Amino acid sequence: MKIAVAQSSSVKGDIKLNIENHLRYIKKASSLGVNYLVFPELSLSGYEPQLAAEMAMAVDDTRLDPLIAAAKKYKISVGVGAPLLSNGLPKIGLIIIHDNGNIETYEKIYLHAGEEQYFSSGDKYHLLEIEQTLIANAICADTINPQHAKTCAESGAIIYVAGVLITPQGYGNDAKKWSTYASEYSMLVAIANYNKPSGGLPSVGKSAIWHENKLLAQAGISEDALVVAENCSGVWIANVYQL
């Protein structure tokens, strides 16, 4: 089992161009044998709350076709961030495209202060199984609410993975929580962060993976990178690969 998080950037509101960038990462991840690749929060649109209503997508949106084709071609499951159509305000969503082309979604449960002006919150946790490994999905502020990780661990998750947008000011405290979850619940915790500003917010990069009481691998601040973890006979190892 190999899981990866993408440290990437997004162009404001340009879904077509952002998908082209995603395809770069998908191809590289596939060459490394990755089974599941997760991108930062709202990666298809950029973190642009004020544009969310006009950019919200459904799972049958034809703009996703290149990602579906890539998932099937490269035999990899991919989690991409996007605003999702909903009754009322859109949701902050993760669109999971499986290697057979099937699609499912997760909707962010815990919103950051101020996001409620533009988004409504989800109410269902999301776990999926890949290579006999149960994976829990999260998005940004989910990960700083301890109840979210606790619920996922109690549901049997071995991996806890999230796309985020974390600023330099917030990273230290948030990383302590992620490390704690890895230690307390013996989960592999993987975080995909932006490496450039989005929505007017600076990002610190440092996408990373923890397991138990150890930081296994961490990208730099500004590099385009994949952080990849592999389970080798019950032992997790991880590395950073630059694109």
Maximum Cα interatomic distance, the chain, rounded to a whole number of Å: 47
Strands (E), 36-182: 36-38, 77-84, 91-97, 103-107, 127-130, 133-139, 159-163
Please provide the distance, in angstroms rounded to a whole number, between the alpha carbons at the two ends of the chain.
21
What span, in angstroms and rounded, lies between the C-alpha atoms of 104 and 60? 11
Q: Is the pTM of this model over 0.85?
A: yes
Structure tokens at 118: 């533009």
**Could you tell me whether strands 133-139 and 91-97 are parallel, antiparallel, or unpaired per DSSP bridges?**
unpaired
Is-contact 153 181, C-beta < 8 A?
yes
What span, in angstroms and rounded, lies between the C-alpha atoms of 175 and 159? 16
Cross-strand partners of 136 = 127, 160
Structure tokens at 143: 């990960």
**Could you tell me whether strands 159-163 and 133-139 are parallel, antiparallel, or unpaired per DSSP bridges?**
parallel
| Regions of the chain with pLDDT less than 70 | none
Residues of the chain with pLDDT > 90, as a percent, come to 99
- Stated length of the chain: 243
Task: Decide: helix, strand or coil at residue 116.
Answer: helix
What span, in angstroms and rounded, lies between the C-alpha atoms of 230 and 1? 6
Strands (E), the chain: 2-7, 36-38, 77-84, 91-97, 103-107, 127-130, 133-139, 159-163, 188-192, 208-211, 214-218, 225-232, 235-242
pLDDT at 213: 87
Structure tokens at 39: 């991108």
What span, in angstroms and rounded, lies between the C-alpha atoms of 240 and 228? 6
**Which of 203, 201, 175, 204 shows the shortest CA–CA distance to 190?**
175
